[in-house]
């Protein structure tokens, strides 16, 4: 296995300030070509080994009703989600326990140490359904205000295959309240009416994140975002 000597984990002061103000940063060229091959190979191997099993120790597959969604048939075609691959694959374990990832996350969270709650592979199928406006923290088993997520793009994330749209600065105005992830695209605005009257078309046009393959996105867990329809016939993969 290669040594990860070139992983781009440097955070400038400007990037840290941008994250604090807007709730996200993009780290372009996070992986070099050799590292990207290793990440892709490791994730593909780990996903294949699972044979559709969503969570270690639970007999729930990616197409099954896991009890978390109001419409299992609809949400089974949003994306395939395989959680805690580090527990079942040694290559993923090595990637997830790289201390440089922890240092990046801790720096942005403003703390001296941080724990990974889970890793997951998210695979957007061709013609997949959209994910409505939501925030992450209410779906986790804790409510830390400075928690964050890391998305490593193993394929390009584009308008065609379902990139991320967001409301910058929303992490400063949201809380633990949420309607869950529903098919109703505006359900979250019942809890956060201050966003209900903004020009969402302008938000969608100006605040989209197109990630080139090998880039890294870090975003605040109280950050409002949406993943629209993926209409590209090849779908995409992220870790």
Cα–Cα nearest to 198, from 234, 160, 168: 168
Q: What is the pLDDT of residue 3?
A: 55
DSSP state of 128: B
pLDDT at 218: 85
Q: Supply angle C-alpha 217, 164, 162, rounded to 5.
A: 120
> Which pLDDT score is estimated for 63?
66
Helices 99-109 and 13-22: crossing angle in degrees, nearest 10, is: 60
CA triple 23-29-31, angle to 5 deg: 105
- Segments of the chain scoring below 70 in pLDDT: 1-5, 63-70, 72, 199-208, 210, 228-239
**DSSP character for 205?**
H
Only one residue has tokens 């990630």, namely 211
Exposed/middle/buried for residue 39 (C-beta within 10 Å: 0-12, 13-18, 19+):
buried
**CA distance linking residue 153 with residue 49, whole number of Å:** 21
Q: How many CB atoms lie within 10 A of CB 3?
A: 8
SS3 227: strand
| Share above pLDDT 70 across residues of the chain, in percent, rounded to a whole number | 84
Question: In the prediction, which pLDDT does 12 show?
Answer: 94
pLDDT, residue 70, reads 63
Q: How many CB atoms lie within 10 A of CB 151?
A: 19
Distance from C-alpha of 97 to C-alpha of 120, rounded to nearest angstrom: 14
**pLDDT reported for residue 135:** 85
CATH architecture of 15-238: Sandwich (2.60)
DSSP state string for 91-116: HHHHHHT-HHHHHHHHHHHTSS----
- Write b or e for each residue in 205-239: b if 16 or more Cβ atoms lie within 10 A of its Cβ, otherwise e: eebbbebebbbbbbbbbbbbbbbbebebeebbbbb
CA distance 219 to 211: 13
């Amino acid at each position: 296995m290669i040594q990860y000597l070139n992983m781009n984990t440097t955070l400038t002061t400007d990037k840290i300030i941008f994250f604090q103000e807007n709730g996200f940063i993009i780290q372009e060229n996070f992986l070099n070509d050799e590292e990207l091959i290793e990440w892709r190979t490791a994730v593909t191997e780990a996903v294949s080994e699972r044979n559709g099993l969503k969570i270690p120790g639970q007999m729930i597959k990616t197409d099954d009703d896991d009890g978390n969604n109001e419409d299992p048939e609809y949400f089974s075609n949003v994306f395939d989600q395989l959680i805690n691959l580090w527990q079942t694959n040694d290559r993923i374990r090595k990637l997830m326990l790289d201390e440089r990832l922890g240092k990046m996350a801790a720096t942005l969270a403003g703390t001296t140490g941080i724990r990974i709650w889970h890793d997951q592979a998210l695979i957007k199928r061709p013609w997949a359904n959209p994910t409505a406006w939501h925030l992450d923290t209410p779906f986790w088993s804790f409510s830390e205000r400075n928690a964050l997520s890391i998305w490593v793009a193993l394929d390009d994330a584009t308008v065609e295959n379902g990139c991320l749209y967001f409301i910058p600065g929303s992490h400063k105005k949201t809380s633990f309240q949420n309607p869950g992830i529903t098919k109703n695209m505006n359900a979250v605005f019942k809890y956060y009416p201050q966003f209900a009257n903004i020009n969402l078309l302008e938000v969608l046009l100006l605040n989209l994140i197109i990630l080139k393959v090998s880039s890294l996105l870090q975003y605040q867990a109280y950050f409002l975002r949406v993943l629209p329809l993926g209409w590209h016939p090849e779908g995409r993969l992220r870790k």
